[in-house]
A and B are shown apart, each in its own frame.
Chain A
Amino acid sequence: MAKHHGRGVATINYPIGMNLGGDPSQALVHSNPTGKFTVSLSSIDLGQGMKSVIRQICAETLGVPVADVYVDTADSDTGPHCTGSFASRGTHRVGNAVMVAAREARAVMMEAAAEELEVDPGDLETDGRGNIRVKGAPHRSITVREVAMAAQFKQGKTIAGRGIFLVPLSDVDPETGEMSPATCYAHACVIVDVEVDDETGDVSVLKMTSAYEIGRAINPKMVEQQLVGGAWMGMSHALYETVEPYYPDPREGPRDFNEYLMPGPGDICPHEIVVLERPAPDGPFGAKGIGEMCANPVLPAVANAIFNAVGVRINDLPITPEKVLRAIKARGGAVPQARMR
């Protein structure tokens, strides 16, 4: 009777946005009279950080500080249509929509600034700190606040923009399945170290080491949130969660969190994450979506690590101690495999 160490790996990719496309999102951007911007959306923030990601994309596109942008979400009277927060689509679809809207608003802002400074709009640039200045002559500048005031009260211009992003719906061939599922893909490789107790069947995840390629990290702290939390959920799906423990027998379903198991704070492990960025040609600043793909590779990596530790393959999720013990017994005992270096 012993505890055996094992290591497993998985590599995956993940399609961004609704499969086949056909899932538009819109955004509206406008300035108030003193040069502060509001983004109106009907998109949902369910924790993934929609409001914050869109805020940074909008600020970058407008060329103003992030503090000068506020994102208002999810009111059907004021926010234009969004297909919804799912399918890892928010950053990609809504991000693109807000870029279109922000570019339109920025163009008006630059025109209004040009009129005030009596130069060509093409000669102007934003400094990202709330000023618009003549390229090569930074002393000739005007604040965004002054431009917004002038546009509103002097020039009669609306500093506003509309945006929509749509990947047109793809056909599917009935005979071959030929289709365009997605326009870009995120990637991941996860290596998981586990310890398997051959007496109890208990599996402890000791460490995760991962590389995620996500196009562009709009906000590294929020990327970390998704990747750490997502990997936890992947580990949970691999080892703990089920609403039908004896599926397809529907009996014995859990009714509460005492019966529906998930790893608690004492069950987590160190997770070393490396992020790669290969910009998606059609992503906002190259960004892809990371909400879903972060959980996926952990499930098979855990299963493969268990095989490496004790030589049994569990093909049915979740991999409970009961299943591990039965498999070890069927194999006549734990058979540790070659150490993965």
Chain B
Amino acid sequence: MLEFRKDIFADERDDNLLEIGQPTQRQDMLGHVTATSRYYDDHRFANLLHLKVLRSPHAHARIRSIDDSAAARAPGVKRIIRAADVPVNLNTLLSLMQFGKDDEPSLATDVVRYKGEPILGIVATSERAALEAMALVRISYDPLPAVFDVEEALKPGAPSVNPTYPKNTFEYHGKYDHQKLRFGDVDAAFAQADVVLEDRYQMSPIEHAPTETNGSIAVPDTNGRIVVYTSTQALFFSLDTAAKINALPSNQLHFIGGTVGGGFGGKVDTMTEPLAILAARLTGAPVRYRFSRHEEMQFGSPRGAERIYIKDGIMRDGRIIARQVRAYFDSGAYTRLSSYAVIKCAGHIPGPYTIPNVSADIYCVFTNRTPATAMRGFGVTAIDFAIECQMDKDAVAIGMDPLEFRMLNAYRDGDMKAHRREAKNCALIECAQVAAEKAQWPLRDEFRRMSSRQGGAARAGVTDRSRMPAPAVPPRVPASTTQRVTYERPMPAVSPAATPPPPPPTPPQPPAPAASGHGARRFSSVFGTRRR
């Protein structure tokens, strides 16, 4: 059941609208219930060929030899596609945004780095013929030592997974093996905290499991173009990726999609289009490359598992004065999008709370498993799980109601966030109040009266350097931007024991010469990792 609380924030809304807010029927609903919505695989072509890829049975191995001669002669087989056939075999997904180095082959050459890595493609008159031919391919491997644990992968002497990043970590800003977040002084704050709590959290790899698996059909069109029917979640992202791998001008490709049987992040990686296009070019025929459910489960990229360590410093009156995070994103054998999620995670810490001292180190780590990718809540789901479990433990440790503890520390308009931007448009406290009322979770009066719109700004204020005049810190800092070292909160009398007022946390370091917050930049200038 869904209801609205239109009374809350009513003064910020114009509700005098005609179409917005109406429960209008979905434009696509009639198509869905009559089973006439057309997904990529609901297009039919004469003489359609089918592509299946042969995948590595090893997590890490050197390929000694490949003998596909019997497969090439098998009934129905039209073409074997080898790594050498791929015009630009090495790619990284975010290369379109000039973020990261090309590190992943479409088809493996000398080494396979995860179980399931594609080695060669077989194009045949049916999926069955392709699979039967696949059984005739003989590949000999020299197995190599593999690493599966993110922290083991960082130890000296660990097997090197990805030759582009030999130390098993993505490179940030051209010099670091992780992304940092630094705000205030966590060490000083931990020394002053009444309680310090530390714990470890481990997410599992998750399969997106859309009911429609990944797939595409590439169809040679008139005038040399290729039409691609696709399940992608990002049409031009997939088009440009496929154009790069096939060394084609982008206007030689015509992508059609838009009606997709679920995605949840699992259809961003452009896993089928490049090879389907190549197969269509090599055979001159329409080619479908469709993942089986087993492929989707095990070799389509999963949500990567993250391991997170959180250490909190808490005062007995309920304030969190420090939060330190160390997190490892398991990227699998190649980068795909995990490098991006690391930054998103860093920007999300310490969650929707105002904490004056925050520090985080987030790593994107390579291991010998299926490359990970985006999934619903990318970069945030895991850290939210860790933070919210930790918040519960913090509340128990100081004997406070877990919801009131969250509200006490909730960010409010005007508060300064750890990534040094002012909080605006906050509504965490109101959500807590409304859910509590609905669930009959009694809150004391002072918590029922709290507002995201009041009491911020004066708390934990630090300089917002994005607002300061460039290029440098002026000799006399204007009063309005003076760093505040006080940490004032409306304090309900909840302390289980009388405690002296806590010492003020050390303020953040003075800002370096200002860089503007948002400006038209490219990822290459942000991270200095451009290589095309």
Q: Chain A interface (Cβ within 8 Å of chain B)?
A: 7-15, 19-22, 41-47, 49, 51-52, 55-57, 59-60, 63, 65-66, 70-71, 73-77, 79, 81-87, 128, 167-182, 184-185, 187-191, 209-213, 216-224, 227, 230, 233, 237, 241-245, 247-250, 253-257, 260, 262, 270-281, 285-286, 291-293, 295-297, 299-301, 303-304, 307, 313, 315-318, 337, 340-341
Contact = CB atoms under 8 A, between A and B. Distances in A.
A19 B205 contact: no
Given A180-B466, A296-B377, A169 B297 contact: no
Given A11-B352, A181-B347, A248 B150 contact: yes
A85 B427 CA distance: 25
Interface in B289-309: 293-294, 297-298, 302, 305
B257 interface: yes
Contacts, number: 462
A236 to B, nearest CB: 9
Interface in B337-379: 340, 343-344, 346-348, 351-352, 360, 367, 369, 374, 376-379
B24 A191 contact: no
Interface in B195-233: 199-207, 209-210, 232-233
B179 A177 contact: yes
Contact of B260 (A14, A47, A66): A47
Contact of B19 (A66, A177, A245): A66
Nearest to B174: A174
A44 B257 contact: yes
Interface of A is mostly: loop
B23 A77 contact: no
A273 B3 contact: yes
Given A20-B343, A44-B234, A174-B176, A49 B26 contact: yes
Given A46-B261, A84-B236, 16 more contacts: A42-B236, A44-B258, A168-B521, A172-B527, A180-B517, A181-B421, A216-B13, A242-B205, A250-B148, A253-B297, A276-B5, A278-B8, A278-B430, A303-B392, A315-B202, A316-B204
A341 B2 contact: no
B35 to A, nearest CB: 15
Contacts of A86: 233-234, 263, 265, 268, 374, 378
B19 A128 contact: yes
B519 interface: yes
Given A171-B521, A176-B420, A256 B427 contact: no
Identify which of B419, B425, B520 gathers the most chain A CB atoms within 10 Å of its CB: B425
Contact of B435 (A85, A224, A274, A316): A274
Contact of A188 (B3, B431, B527): B431
Nearest to B508: A176
Nearest to A47: B262
B347 A19 contact: yes
Contact of A171 (B297, B407, B519): B519
Contacts of A182: 347
Interface in B242-292: 253-265, 267-268
Give the 6 A-B CB pairs with smallest separation, nearest first.
A74-B258, A84-B234, A300-B388, A181-B347, A177-B181, A19-B344
Contacts of A84: 232-237, 268
A235 B526 CA distance: 37
Nearest to B6: A277
A191 B436 contact: yes
B233 to A, nearest CB: 5
B489 interface: no
Contact of A10 (B293, B388, B441, B517): B388
Nearest to A172: B526
A85 B234 contact: yes
A15 B434 contact: no
Given A128-B19, A169-B520, A241 B2 contact: no
Given A176-B182, A177-B419, A255-B298, A219 B24 contact: yes
Nearest to A127: B18
10 contacts: A60-B19, A84-B236, A177-B180, A210-B435, A211-B431, A224-B2, A227-B2, A255-B294, A273-B3, A317-B204
Contacts of B425: 184-185, 278, 280-281
Contacts of A275: 2-5
Contacts of B424: 281
A243 B23 contact: no
B73 interface: no
